[in-house]
Amino acid sequence: MYPATQPPLKQVTQSPSKQPPEAASKQAPEAPSKEVTKKVLVVFGDSISAGYGVPAGRSYPDDLQRKIDDAGYAWRIVNLGISGDTTQGGVARIHTAIAVKPALVLLELGGNDGLRGLPLAMTRANLDQMIGAFEHNGAKVVVAGMTLPANYGPDYIHDFEKIFTDLAAKYKAPLIPFILADIITPDLRYFQPDHIHPTAEGAEIVSNTVFKTIKPLLGVGKN
């Protein structure tokens, strides 16, 4: 309630030369945030990308985002890594990645197919389908390859690795032959006890491996 001494309100006629605040606000919309205007890099992968076993914020995509920001590139990473995922699972959820309209996709799937001994023809067909779908929707794909432990046999391992090299050649896509290659040491100190997943320190090295490959695709940064 107004105080008793408050004079009665008078109707004010708007001057023709002035616009009501509502009209002014419609004509001057807020500029989109920097985050909205950044290009999107989707990491589409499994537990390696999801950061299995490392503290929150210490996966290789987390560190990759920091490297991208420090270098002055206007990109944001959407991490769609899911632990345990196979290429079949990737095909089933590819719409979630396409929906965020990525300009660049790091495709890191297939490792679980190999570890489970799934048919190589199926793995190849699934990866082929995903790369084609991403490219059809305007994204450039970087293929992150994988290998397998020696006990899987040289023939199976060779044919498994060849899937990634063949598809990268088919689509003229940048290839990381083995995404964990730079953390292989005699004592495996950059791996967790399972000898499959990187430690937090290992994940930082993996982010360097990835950054070297994708840097030419990011455009102009401050460096």
Residue spans per domain, the chain: 37-185
Q: What is the pLDDT of residue 33?
A: 52
CATH, domain range 37-185 = 3.40.50.1110
Q: What is the pLDDT of residue 218?
A: 97
Q: For residues 131 and 105, give the distance between their C-alpha atoms in angstroms, rounded to a whole number.
A: 9
Tokens of 109: 């799937």
* β-pairing verdict for 140-144 and 104-108: parallel
Q: Which helix (H) or strand (E) holds 169?
A: helix 154-171
Eight-class DSSP state of 99: T
CA dihedral 218, 111, 97, 131 (to 10 degrees): 70
pLDDT exceeds cutoff 70 at 223: no
Phi and psi, residue 104, nearest 5°? -145, 140
Eight-class DSSP state of 79: E
Q: How far is CA 175 from the centre of its chain?
A: 15
- Catalytic choice (46, 49, 59, 197): 197
Confidence of residue 36 (pLDDT cuts 50, 70, 90): low
Tokens of 173: 């896509």
Percent of all residues in the chain with a pLDDT value above 70, rounded to a whole number: 83
Length of the chain in residues, anyone?
223
Confidence of residue 15 (pLDDT cuts 50, 70, 90): very low
Q: CA Rg, the chain, in Å?
A: 25
Structure confidence by residue, pLDDT tens digits, 58-75: 999 999 999 999 999 999
Residue 195 annotated among the catalytic residues of the structure: no
What's the rounded mean pLDDT across residues 140-167? 97
pLDDT exceeds cutoff 70 at 80: yes
Confidence of residue 37 (pLDDT cuts 50, 70, 90): confident
Residue 194 annotated among the catalytic residues of the structure: yes
Average pLDDT, the chain: 88
What are the percentages of helix, strand and coil residues in the chain, rounded to 5? 45, 10, 45
Q: How far is CA 17 from the centre of its chain?
A: 51
Structure confidence by residue, pLDDT tens digits, 179-221: 999 999 999 999 999 999 999 999 999 999 999 999 999 998 8
Percent of all residues in the chain with a pLDDT value above 90, rounded to a whole number: 82
Reduced to 3 states (helix: H, G, I; strand: E, B; else coil), residue 41 is strand
Confidence of residue 27 (pLDDT cuts 50, 70, 90): low
108 or 30, higher pLDDT? 108
pLDDT exceeds cutoff 90 at 1: no
Residue 62 annotated among the catalytic residues of the structure: no
- pTM of the predicted model, to two decimals? 0.84
- Catalytic choice (47, 49, 59, 207): 47
Q: For residues 50 and 56, give the distance between their C-alpha atoms in angstroms, rounded to a whole number.
A: 10
Phi and psi, residue 70, nearest 5°? -65, -30
